[in-house]
Amino acid sequence: MSQTVRKRRVFYIPGYDPIHPRAYRELYRSEGTAQAALSGYALALAPKRAGGPYGWHVSATQDGQPVETDVEVLIWAEIVRDSMAASIPATYLQLLRTAWAYIGSGALFRLMRLRKGPVIAALYPIVALILQALAGLGAGAALAGLILWPLPDFRFDWGLGLALCAGVTWAVLRWFRKHDGRFYAYYLMHDYAFTARWGGANPAALETRMAAFGDTIAQALTEDWDEVLVVGHSSGAHLAISVLADLIRAGRVPATGPRLGFLSLGHVVPMVSFLPKAKRLRGDLAYLCARTELTWVDVTAPGDGCAFALCDPVKVSGVGPADQHQPLILSAAFTQTLSPARWKQLRWRFFRLHFQYLCAFDRPGAYDYFRITAGPLTLAERFAQTPPSKSVIETPVNRFTSMA
C-alpha cells in the first residue's frame, strides 16, 4: 500500500496517572528507539513543533518512507493528584464507599463474568489496606502487651495500652503510605474511588478538562495534517470516547479534513459503564461505535491483568446498537509478541504490563505502537484487512443500560 501519511498529529490521553508528561516522552523515546532497532526502521525525537506545552516531534523512516509526527499529551494529572491528596483516615472511608458502590450496585459480580483479572486488581487495594490496618493493630497490641504486662505490681492500664496501640498502628499505616510505590494500595484505591464517588459520572473539573481536550483536537482537524490520531490508554480510553463523541455530535469533524483515528489501549471501560450513573459514557459508547467519521481500533491483551481484555466495550456494556460496526477488537497477544525470555521478565510485573502497549515488542505482530503513531499509513489503512481477534467477548452483562 502506498504512503498516505507524511504529517500526523497524535494526541495521547493518559489514564489515572499523577506523573509529569515528560515521563511519557522518555518512554516513547526509549521504547521507540528499541522498537526501531528490532524492526529495522529509523525513529528519532526532537523538541515539539506544534501544539501545547507537553509534547515532542517524531521523525521516522519506515519502509523507505519519511513521516513527521507531532505528539501532544493531553494532561489531567493535576486532577488525579488532587484526588490522591486524601489523608489516611479519608482513604479508609473511600474504601468503604468504593466497596459499597461496586458491591451494592451489583456491578462487581457482573464484572467478574467478563474478566477476573481487573476485578482482582480492583479488590487488591481493599484487601491490602485492610491487611495493613490489621498489621498496625497487631504490632500495636503486641508492643503494648510487651511493655505493660511484665511491669511488677503494675495493674494493666487499658487507656495507656490503647494509646500505645493506636500510636504504633498509626506509625505502621504511615510507613505503608510512604512506601506505596512498592504496594500501590493507596494509588489503586484512589483510582477506583475517583470513579465510584460519582457513580460512573464525571466530576465537573474533569468535564471541563475534557471540553478543553475537544477544542484542542478540533483545532488540529482544521489544520494541514494527513491524520489526526487520538490514543487513549487505560482510563484515558473512556475519556477519549466521550471527547470524540462530543466532537462528532457538534459537527466539529470536517468531512474534508485529516483522517481521524482512535486507538484505545488496555481499556477499563466496564469499571465505569457498569455503574448506575454512567449514563453519559454509555450514550457515548452507543453513539461512537456507529459513526463513520473516524476509525476506532481497540487493543488489549489477556496477559494484562488490569484491562478487560478482548471485551467489546460497547456490547458488554449492553448498549450496542443494531448498526454498530466499531471498534475493531485486537489482541496484543503478549505471549506471542514477546519472546519467552522477555515474557518471563514481565509476567508478574502487572503494572508494567499494563503499559506494554506503549512499549517495544521483540516479536511484533500486527500491533506496533510506533508504526501506528509514526508510520506512513493511517489507522484505517493499516488495519483495513485485519480481522478481529478470536474469542472476543460480546455478551451484554451490564445491569444498567440507561443513556444520557
Query: What is the DSSP annotation of 71-126?
Result: EEE---HHHHHHHT---HHHHHHHHHHHHHHHHHTSHHHHHTTT-HHHHHHHHHHH
Q: Are the C-beta atoms of 378 and 259 separated by less than 8 Å? A: yes
> How far is it, in rounded angstroms, from Cα 357 to Cα 16?
16
Which DSSP string do the residues of 275-320 spell out, in sequence order?
A: STTTHHHHHHHHHHTT-SSSEEEEEE-TT-TTS-TTB-TTTTTT--
pLDDT the model gives residue 143: 82
Asked whether the predicted pLDDT for residue 295 surpasses 80, the reply is yes
Instruction: Please list, in sequence order, all residues whose beta carbon lies within 8 angstroms of the beta carbon of residue 98, skipping any fewer than 6 positions away.
Output: 126, 189, 192, 193, 196, 197
**Of residues 113, 104, 83, 102, the one with CA closest to residue 188:** 83
Whether residue 47 has a cis bond before it, omega within 30° of 0: no
pLDDT the model gives residue 165: 86
What are the pLDDT digits (tens) for 340-380?
Answer: 999 999 999 999 999 999 999 999 999 999 999 999 999 99
Question: Do strands 295-300 and 259-265 pair parallel, antiparallel, or not at all (unpaired)?
Answer: parallel
pLDDT the model gives residue 299: 98
- Where residue 52 falls among pLDDT bands split at 50, 70, 90? confident
pLDDT the model gives residue 153: 52
- Give mean pLDDT, residues 248-277: 97
Dihedral sign computed on CA atoms, order 85, 86, 92, 95: negative
Q: Going from the N-terminus, what domains does the chain have, and what CATH number goes with each?
A: 7-78+208-254+261-382 (3.40.50), 86-196 (no CATH)
Q: Could you tell me the three cell numbers for 22?
A: 515528560
> How far is it, in rounded angstroms, from Cα 125 to Cα 191?
10
Question: Do strands 55-62 and 227-233 pair parallel, antiparallel, or not at all (unpaired)?
Answer: unpaired
Instruction: Name the one residue in this structure whose C-alpha cell is 523515546.
Output: 29
- Kindly state the DSSP code that residue 266 receives in the 8-state scheme: S
Q: Which of 49-63, 143-157, 379-393 has the highest mean pLDDT?
A: 379-393
pLDDT the model gives residue 373: 98
Q: Are the C-beta atoms of 288 and 241 separated by less than 8 Å? A: yes
What are the pLDDT digits (tens) for 85-102?
Answer: 899 999 999 999 999 999
Instruction: Name the one residue in this structure whose C-alpha cell is 457482573.
Output: 110
- Where residue 152 falls among pLDDT bands split at 50, 70, 90? low
> How far is it, in rounded angstroms, from Cα 181 to Cα 290?
41
Q: Could you tell me the three cell numbers for 105?
A: 450496585
Asked whether the predicted pLDDT for residue 151 surpasses 60, the reply is no
Among 135-144, 177-186, 279-288, 329-338, the range scoring the smallest mean pLDDT is: 135-144
**Of residues 72, 64, 73, 54, the one with CA closest to residue 8:** 72
Position with higher pLDDT, 133 vs 164: 133
- When the pLDDT of each residue in the chain is averaged and rounded to a whole number, the result is 94
Q: Are the C-beta atoms of 300 and 225 separated by less than 8 Å? A: no
Asked whether the predicted pLDDT for residue 155 surpasses 70, the reply is no
> How far is it, in rounded angstroms, from Cα 335 to Cα 353?
12
pLDDT the model gives residue 218: 98
> How far is it, in rounded angstroms, from Cα 21 to Cα 89?
30
